[in-house]
Amino acid sequence: MPGIVLIGTQWGDEGKGKITDLLADQMDIVVRYQGGDNAGHTVIDGSQEFRFHLIPSGILYPHIACVIGNGVVINPKVLIEELDGLESRGVSTDKLLISCNAHLVMPYHLILDGARELKLGKSKIGTTHKGIGPAYADKTSRTGLRIQDMLDMKIFKKKLEIVLKEKNEILTKIYDFEPLDLDKIVTDYTGYAKRLEKHIADTSLVVNKALDESKNVFFEGAQGTLLDIDHGTYPFVTSSSPLSGGACVGVGVGPKRIDRVIGVVKAYITRVGSGPFPTELDDEVGNTMREKGGEYGTTTGRPRRCGWFDAVILRYANMINGLTEIAVTKLDVLSQFEKIKICVGYEHKGKVYDNFPPHQTIVHKCKPVYEEVGGWMEGLNNITNYDDLPKAAQEYLARIEELGGVPIKMVSVGPKRRQIIFKS
Ligand code: GDP
Ligand code: IMO
Ligand code: MG
């Protein structure tokens, strides 16, 4: 069973970092396949907290090779800061490999991300301002610069000179910014290249060889299903494909290599940034979820919008990712509530939708159809056996399984590694 993909089933921040770290122990390689440093994956190892943005959440285990695949967009400055930060805390990063085909986030991407959001005003996407959208746009329009371009700074400069002419026109004429200096960027990226050179590799070959040898490869998704560029709540999405299918393209492996697809499911829903959110709670219940769940962005510190669990979303995530199992996280946060609601459908103009509506107006305007179940009102943080969970918590989980049509294999009851229940 060597190829395992882990994905977020909602709008991100489901606890992917925690589950990746937990399972990484049994892996040989952990690989990121899309996104960039818009991701923020939290791992708690003993008393230490780590927040990973570009580096896979398996890096804490010295036996694991960590790979940043071709589908990721890399801000080299951020990557170097992350590497230095880990080294200074005694974590070796020697076994990190970076795909030579991954695209670079450039200084103009960062500026354009912010400037476009500002221009959009109230209609803004609420991006992380990490330059992700503009970097993927350049990749698609074939004007991007890649990691491998940094291995030959002459070529890098030639390509940049052409691109920068156009970017500077946009920056100065449309957004009223100062133009960027070619030589300054070349000097900065020459420094980054020197620091990162030893990590650059043909990562698709490395991962395929490992799979040939029946080694365990873990594909760590970033973001979540509803932030997918094709299948998410467009345009309030990110610019890559966080789905299980994205793992094949973002690393360079065939679909037959994937044996398991684990969906990470938060026991309620959160979202950062703009866009529709049918079960959002703009009240005391939502505030309690935010405070008890520590729902503040790992990357930007923004408060996350909170709401009840939504089975329509889980069914959709199951369908488009081909989930083999799910890990339910943050069940402990729901210990606060006497009554808990589960959204089982969306009602719009007298019609009830069990499946995620294809027309987004419905997602914006629908009313959630709720089922109410009893809460358990007791702490779960120290429970390690499924049978020891309160009966009401077991019933809640059983209903999630039933509505989602996918078995639960793990239940997380706290942020620490040991706060996990395996379910047979
Ligand atoms: P990711 O982006 O999917 O990796 O998730 P984040 O790390 O951005 O956000 C998840 C947050 O919840 C982090 O602060 C985790 O430490 C925390 N967390 C993960 N699992 C649990 C859990 O089961 N219970 C609680 N209370 N916190 C958790
Ligand atoms: P992890 O991996 C939650 C959201 C942003 C915004 C939208 C577009 O930690 O789950 P972008 O900067 O990607 O152009 O922003 O996507 N977003 C995330 N939300 N978790 C993430 O990553 C996210 N990465 C991007 O808030 O709404
Ligand atoms: Mg996160």
* Whether 205 and 127 share a structural domain: no
pLDDT mean over 57-74: 97
> Taking 90 as the threshold, does the pLDDT of residue 254 lie above it?
yes
Rounded CA-CA distance 306/288 in Å is 9
Contact 135, 36 (CB under 8 A): yes
pLDDT of residue 1: 56
CATH of the domain at 350: 3.90.170.10
Contact 279, 363 (CB under 8 A): no
* Whether 19 and 89 share a structural domain: yes
CATH of the domain at 207: 3.40.440.10
* Whether 149 and 243 share a structural domain: no
- What's the gap in Å between 414 CA and the centre of ligand 1? 8
pLDDT of residue 298: 84
Spatial CB neighbours of 197, under 8 Å, sequence gap ≥ 6: 150, 151
Decide which of 232, 262, 292 is a domain's last residue: 262
* Residue corresponding to tokens 């939290």: 42
* Whether 216 and 276 share a structural domain: no
* Whether 135 and 226 share a structural domain: no
CATH of the domain at 137: 1.10.300.10
- What's the gap in Å between 39 CA and the centre of ligand 2? 6
- The band of 234, judged by pLDDT with boundaries at 50, 70 and 90, is very high
Contact 279, 343 (CB under 8 A): yes
pLDDT mean over 210-232: 98
pLDDT tens, 360-381? 999 999 999 999 999 999 999 9
Decide which of 240, 262, 284 is a domain's last residue: 262
* Whether 234 and 272 share a structural domain: no
Decide which of 196, 215, 250 is a domain's last residue: 196
Residue nearest to atom 18 of ligand 1 (CA): 415
pLDDT mean over 74-95: 98
Spatial CB neighbours of 52, under 8 Å, sequence gap ≥ 6: 17, 39, 40, 41, 42, 43, 59, 82
> Taking 60 as the threshold, does the pLDDT of residue 227 lie above it?
yes
Q: What is the pTM of this model?
A: 0.98
> Taking 80 as the threshold, does the pLDDT of residue 3 lie above it?
yes
* Whether 92 and 228 share a structural domain: yes
Ligand nearest to the CA of 380: 1
Whether the CB of 41 sits within 6 Å of ligand 1: yes
pLDDT tens, 392-413? 999 999 999 999 999 999 999 9
pLDDT of residue 300: 86
- Report the atom number in ligand 1 closest to the C-alpha of 298: 8
pLDDT of residue 274: 97
* Whether 120 and 94 share a structural domain: no
Decide if 37 is catalytic: no
Q: Which domain holds residue 297?
A: 265-321+328-422
Average pLDDT taken over every residue of the chain: 97
Ligand 1 pocket, mutate which of 42, 331, 397, 417 (most atoms under 8 A from CB): 42
Instruction: Calculate the alpha carbon distances from 155 to 161, 186, 190, 275 in Å.
Output: 10, 11, 12, 41
* Whether 96 and 115 share a structural domain: no
* Whether 287 and 414 share a structural domain: yes
Decide if 212 is catalytic: no
Structure token digits, residue 245: 């299918």
* Whether 76 and 112 share a structural domain: no
Domain count of the fold of the chain: 3
* Whether 48 and 119 share a structural domain: no
pLDDT mean over 110-127: 96
Whether the CB of 53 sits within 6 Å of ligand 1: no
Dump strand ranges (E) for 258-363: 260-266, 269-271, 305-307, 309-310, 325-329, 339-348, 351-353
Ligand 1 pocket, mutate which of 6, 9, 18, 51 (most atoms under 8 A from CB): 18
pLDDT mean over 302-322: 98
